[in-house]
Every structure is written in structure tokens, then in C-alpha cells.
Amino acid sequence: MEGGIRKKRHKKHHTEELNIIPLIDITANLLFFLMVGMDLKEKAEAGEKVELPVSSSKSQEEVSMVRVAVTKEELLLEGVKQASLEGGKIARSDINKDGFLGKLRAELEKKRKAIEASGLDMTLEKNKPVVFMLADRSLEYDTVELVMRTAGSAGFPRFRFGVLSK
């Protein structure tokens, strides 16, 4: 002990520093989007039309999708009549000996071949042919099931459904 004097140890007060760089980045981004948004708003108020680019190509799903509508009176494929319905049931004359709708199956097979010839990679799930079926709410299940089986046998394994509005 040197002269009995103790050295006082002073604790250093450590202060945390606030990192404001991320805050500045966020503020700059917000400012940018607000400026662009105000510019579009001013153009809209001035009567100027904002022109969006037009897509010249069809989406892959549009290329591989066919539309089937089943009403109480008829079955349509892309707007062309494929079969007649009597009281919500498909007429026996439109069902072939295999239990499928012959005309619908032939047309769907043509469409599937056209889709395959379009150059899409058919091994990808998103490119597999899709039937978008619009059906009347009051149809019996047997009618919808027959259309689905026919489409499946023609090479359309995926379905999307909608309900026809009156």
C-alpha cells in the first residue's frame, strides 16, 4: 500500500449508441414512394391517363385451359354445343358405349393435342391441361361426374369449378 491511499477505480459509464442507419434507409424509401404516389395522384387529378403496358402473350394457364359450361339444357365446350340435357341429365343418345360423352371427348382430345403442340413443358404441374367447368347449381352430381370422367379420359387431369349465375 502506497501511503495508505487507495486508488479509486472509476467505473466507466458505457452508453449505448443508437444505430440510426436503418431508420434513415426506411425513411428514404418511404419518401421515394410517397413522391412517386403523389406524382401519379397529381396526374390523375389533372386528367392525364396513366398508361399501363399491354401484355402481348397469353399466360401459360390460358393456353392450357378449356372452358366447359353445363346448363340445364346443354353442355358447351368453348361456347360450342357438345350434348343436350333433358331435365338436368345428359341425353342417352350423347353417351357412347364406353360410358363417355363421345363428341366432348373427341373435341377435348383435339384441344389437348393442340396444347401439347404449343411447346409447353407438360411435365410441369402448372402446364398440365385444365378444365374450367361452370355448372348450374341445380345439376345432379351424376351429370357433373360424367363430364369430369370424360374430360379426365381425354387427358385433362385438373379441374377448376364455378357456378353459373342466373
**Considering the domain boundaries, does residue 33 fall inside one?**
yes
Q: Is the pLDDT at 61 greater than 60, yes or no? A: no
Same domain, 143 and 116: yes
What's the average model confidence in pLDDT over 44-51?
A: 67
Following DSSP, what letter does each residue of 132-144 receive, concatenated? EEEE-TT--HHHH
Q: Are residues 33 and 85 in the same domain?
A: no
- The reply to whether 10 falls in a domain is no
- pLDDT for residue 59 is more than 60: no
What are residue 138's phi and psi, to 5 degrees? -90, 5
Specify the DSSP element, H or E, that contains 163: strand 158-163
Q: Tell whether 14 is covered by a domain.
A: no
Range scoring the smallest mean pLDDT among 25-34, 77-86, 92-101, 138-147: 92-101
Domain identity same for 28 and 104:
no
Angstrom distance (rounded) from CA 41 to CA 50: 10
* Selected residue with higher pLDDT from 11 and 116: 116
The candidate with the shortest Cα–Cα distance to 112, out of 61, 158, 154, is: 154
- How far apart CA 81 and CA 107 sit, in angstroms, is 11
Residue 130: inside a domain = yes
Structural domain including 68 reads: 60-163
Residue 35 CA: distances (Å) to CA of 39, 53, 65, 75? 6, 22, 41, 53
Q: Would you place residue 50 in the very low, low, confident or very high pLDDT band (cuts 50, 70, 90)?
A: low
- Whether residues 42 and 94 fall in one domain: no
Category of 87 on φ-ψ map: left (φ > 0), alpha (ψ -120 to 50) or beta? left
Per-residue pLDDT, averaged over 106-125, amounts to 81
